[in-house]
């Protein structure tokens, strides 16, 4: 009888209660040794594998675990260490590994950017001045560990050579094809050792195949995978794609590998099978359960999809799995004791998704009747949620439908508005500010926890927040910043906080996912219609403004970022949810303005993150993002200045959309890219005001004044000084007070010096 198998692409690293994060941060602080760190993280890793085995997954991934980032893991496996870290060869020391990711007192960290269209960040490999060599076969170590400790003949996972090279950076002119040829023998070496150790299946992740590659690039891909197949013909190699449908399906499906993993959740992959079929010589790993969202799968719908898939692929060549690694969802709903049962019944975190995979596999294997009970329970849970009060707000739907074009445009063009704003604020040339958040110390977190546990009153907690705001208004004035912020001490997270305050959202207790390094976020759940119910940020902003004559920015998270950093209901179109969020934020913007806050920052760090990987879908997304931002911000007066902030973007690619947002001032996270983004302004005209982050806040170091002067002066070669703001590249929440104050002092000193030099030039 044919055995249909189940599989997983990857599993969350962090542990149910973020044990992984605590181990890492204890090591970084010197509280535990390297040996203790490795012992603790091994326990987490083995527990993850044991759980997948007990749930009944057949092909369990090994090597998907990381101490920081899987892309960085691939770099150090091949000895790819930037020369500034003085690596001497051999296995990369752990301190060097973390220095590449976080920087140290002698060297800045490598660039960090978004992993495709997710909120996960990877460390960008730097290929300059390095000769790759296999110095540590990590997948082999993890494969042997799983076999020895748990008796699991696992599926080793590697980041594929094409994706790795595409994600890397190099200032040289080595052709892509030559770089692929350089890495192919190293991958063959890794795979040969795995084959010799007894590995049967190997998963090679190539998510870059969801993006368009050129004909020459595909020739290099074909050549590399042909060489791999010829070198290790016994291995069942899976080329695993995810996040969207494969862009060049004919070429990818023709690669000489045993199996192909496709995402049937994001992008209309089923159309590819309908149009082109599926190769008769390959196994299909069908990603039918959403690996990036937390809502329970409709098992009947998934079984219908699997029926359609089976009309193109015989059952004996079918493996069932999630659409992507479960790295992007929390661990388990078992810890969620405070959620309404209606909501909890509609949720599925990583462990529950594994059960869905097992149920679907059993149904395909033995028939739907074998999971009749599970199907009935599934149907009842989803029906109860869809018919609940959370999803029946007709007023919200009507408000969005009745918006007109004039409702989403500012009353005057930027050239007119900026004159009114300059008159109101009277800021100096090259004004200095921060992005918004200030250090959330252990004491801040402690007081919040005490309040949440009922160990202090709301009044006591509110007074504590006021004290923090007062303290930092004084510090900012002493440093000499021109535009101040209240610090966001009342906020756990820039999206979760709004999720707690806006109708239609709910916040979990343990719904943590990794964002970068040990930084974990707890995305709110958008389970119903979104609506404004009460002011969210007004009280703190007004209090901060009462303490100073300098302008204090009101701080909001924008609609696109709230959408992209939340787990979004999947029963209506995403853009409909987006507009509901935008309309709720519009009320908050108006409340801030009404209460005397005339500089309002609506952050959109995740705008580019949601950009579709397929080029043909991008315009629709960008148009929707611009429309939503303007719903949020367009109703203010001309002399109210709208700011926004974005994390690193390919500015050339989306400059028209950024301009179309019609924000008066934009700040962009750019410091880790060493000023590369500035070159975009040599090719494009940008008429609004802009701040390019002049130092990296993700790295625990204080920049020198010379370093900042260099960054500022480089920007001023292409950006008019009258347009330019000076700020760190991101919020300062994760930094400690001492280094924050020291870094901001250096920044203000550098700004003042260059301001004086610029003013002297025009005299």
Q: Is 645 labeled as ligand-binding?
A: yes
The mean pLDDT of 98-122, rounded to a whole number, is: 92
Q: Which helix (H) or strand (E) holds 62?
A: strand 61-62
Q: With bands split at pLDDT 50, 70 and 90, how would you rate the model's confidence at 683?
A: low
Tens digit of pLDDT for each residue in 263-284?
999 989 999 999 999 999 999 9
The mean pLDDT of 88-112, rounded to a whole number, is: 94
Residue 493 pLDDT > 70: yes
How far apart, in Å, are the Cα atoms of 498 and each of 43, 524, 526?
35, 9, 11
Q: Is 725 labeled as ligand-binding?
A: no
Per-residue pLDDT at 677 = 61
CA 255 to CA 252: how far, in whole Å? 6
Per-residue pLDDT at 674 = 45
Q: What is the mean pLDDT of the chain?
A: 93
Q: Which residue bears the tokens 């801030």?
A: 592
Residue 633 pLDDT > 50: yes
Predicted structure pTM score: 0.88
Q: Is 114 labeled as ligand-binding?
A: yes
Per-residue pLDDT at 544 = 97
Q: Is 488 labeled as ligand-binding?
A: yes
Residue 675 pLDDT > 60: no
CA 227 to CA 520: how far, in whole Å? 39
Q: Is 437 labeled as ligand-binding?
A: yes
CA dihedral 558, 564, 568, 574 (to 10 degrees): 80
How big is the chain by its Cα radius of gyration, in Å?
A: 26
Residues with a catalytic annotation lie at: 698
Tens digit of pLDDT for each residue in 539-561?
999 999 999 999 999 999 999 99
Q: Is 28 labeled as ligand-binding?
A: no
Is the distance from CB of 621 to CB of 608 less than 8 angstroms? no
Burial of residue 457 (number of CB atoms within 10 Å: 0-12, 13-18, 19+): exposed
Domains of the chain and any CATH numbers:
59-257 (3.20.20.210), 408-762 (3.20.20.210)
Q: Is 18 labeled as ligand-binding?
A: yes
The mean pLDDT of 232-239, rounded to a whole number, is: 97
The helix/strand/coil state of 677 is helix
């Amino acid at each position: 009888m044919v055995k249909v198998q189940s599989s997983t692409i990857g599993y969350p690293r962090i542990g149910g209660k973020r044990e992984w994060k605590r181990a890492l941060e204890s090591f970084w602080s010197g509280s535990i040794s390297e040996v203790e760190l490795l012992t603790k993280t091994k326990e987490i890793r083995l527990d993850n594998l044991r759980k997948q085995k007990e749930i009944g997954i057949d092909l369990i991934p090994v090597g998907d675990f990381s101490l920081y980032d899987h892309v960085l893991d691939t770099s150090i496996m091949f000895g790819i260490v930037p020369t500034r870290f003085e690596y001497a060869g051999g296995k990369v020391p752990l301190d060097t590994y973390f220095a590449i990711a976080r920087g140290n007192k002698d060297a800045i960290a490598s660039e960090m950017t978004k992993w495709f269209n997710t909120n996960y960040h990877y460390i960008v490999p730097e290929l300059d001045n390095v000769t790759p060599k296999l110095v540590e076969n990590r997948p082999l170590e993890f494969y042997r560990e799983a076999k020895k400790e748990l008796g699991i003949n696992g599926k080793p996972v590697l980041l594929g050579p094409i994706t790795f090279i595409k994600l890397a950076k190099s200032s040289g002119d080595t052709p892509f094809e030559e770089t692929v040829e350089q890495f192919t023998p190293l991958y063959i070496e890794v795979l040969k050792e795995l084959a010799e150790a007894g590995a049967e299946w190997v998963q090679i992740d190539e998510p870059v195949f969801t993006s368009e590659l050129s004909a020459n690039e595909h020739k290099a891909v074909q050549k590399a995978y042909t060489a791999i197949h010829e070198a290790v013909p016994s291995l069942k190699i899976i080329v695993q794609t995810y996040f969207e449908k494969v862009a060049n399906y004919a070429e990818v499906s023709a690669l000489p590998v045993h199996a192909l993993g496709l995402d049937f959740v994001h992008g209309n992959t089923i159309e590819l099978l309908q149009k082109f079929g599926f190769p008769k010589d390959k196994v299909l790993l069908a990603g039918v359960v959403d690996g990036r969202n937390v809502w329970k799968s409709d098992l009947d719908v998934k079984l219908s999809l699997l029926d359609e898939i089976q009309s193109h692929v015989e059952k004996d060549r079918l493996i069932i799995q999630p659409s992507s690694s479960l790295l992007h969802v929390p661990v388990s709903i078992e810890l969620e004791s405070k959620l309404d049962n209606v909501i909890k019944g509609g949720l599925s975190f990583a462990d529950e998704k594994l059960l869905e995979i097992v149920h679907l596999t059993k149904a395909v294997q033995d028939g739907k009747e074998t999971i009749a009970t599970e199907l009935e329970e599934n149907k009842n849970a989803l029906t109860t949620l869809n018919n609940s009060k959370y999803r029946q707000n007709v007023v919200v739907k009507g408000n969005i439908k009745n918006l007109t074009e004039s409702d989403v445009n500012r009353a005057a063009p930027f050239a007119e508005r900026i004159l009114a704003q300059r008159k109101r604020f009277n800021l100096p040339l090259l004004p200095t500010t921060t992005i918004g958040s200030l250090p959330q110390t252990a004491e801040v977190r402690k007081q919040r926890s005490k309040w949440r546990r009922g160990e202090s009153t709301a009044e006591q907690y509110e007074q504590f927040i006021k004290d923090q705001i007062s303290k930092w208004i004084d510090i900012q004035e002493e440093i000499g910043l021109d535009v101040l912020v209240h610090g966001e001490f009342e906020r756990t997270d820039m999206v979760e906080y709004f999720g707690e305050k806006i109708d239609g959202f709910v916040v979990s207790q343990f719904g943590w996912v990794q964002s970068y390094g040990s930084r974990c976020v707890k995305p709110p759940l958008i389970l119903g219609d979104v609506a404004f119910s009460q002011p969210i940020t007004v009280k703190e902003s007004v209090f901060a403004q009462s303490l100073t004559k300098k302008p204090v920015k009101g701080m909001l998270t924008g609609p696109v970022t709230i959408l992209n950093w939340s787990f979004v209901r999947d029963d209506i179109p995403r853009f409909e949810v987006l507009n509901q969020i935008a309309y709720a934020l519009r009320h908050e913007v108006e409340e801030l303005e009404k209460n005397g806050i005339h500089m309002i920052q609506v952050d959109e760090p995740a705008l580019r993150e949601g950009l579709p990987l397929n080029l043909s879908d991008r315009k629709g997304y960008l148009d929707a993002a611009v429309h939503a931002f303007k719903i949020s911000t367009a109703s203010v007066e001309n002399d109210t200045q709208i700011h926004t902030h974005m994390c690193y973007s390919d500015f050339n690619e989306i400059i028209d959309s950024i301009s179309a947002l019609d924000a008066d001032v934009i700040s962009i996270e750019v410091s880790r890219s060493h000023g590369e983004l500035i070159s975009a302004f040599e090719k494009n005209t940008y008429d609004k005001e802009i701040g390019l982050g002049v130092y990296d806040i993700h790295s625990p170091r204080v920049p020198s004044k010379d370093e900042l002067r260099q960054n500022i002066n480089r920007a001023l070669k292409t950006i008019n000084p009258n347009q330019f703001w000076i700020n760190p590249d991101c919020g300062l929440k994760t930094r400690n007070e001492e280094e924050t104050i020291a870094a901001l002092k250096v920044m203000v000193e550098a700004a003042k010096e260059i301001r004086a030099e610029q003013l002297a030039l025009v005299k």
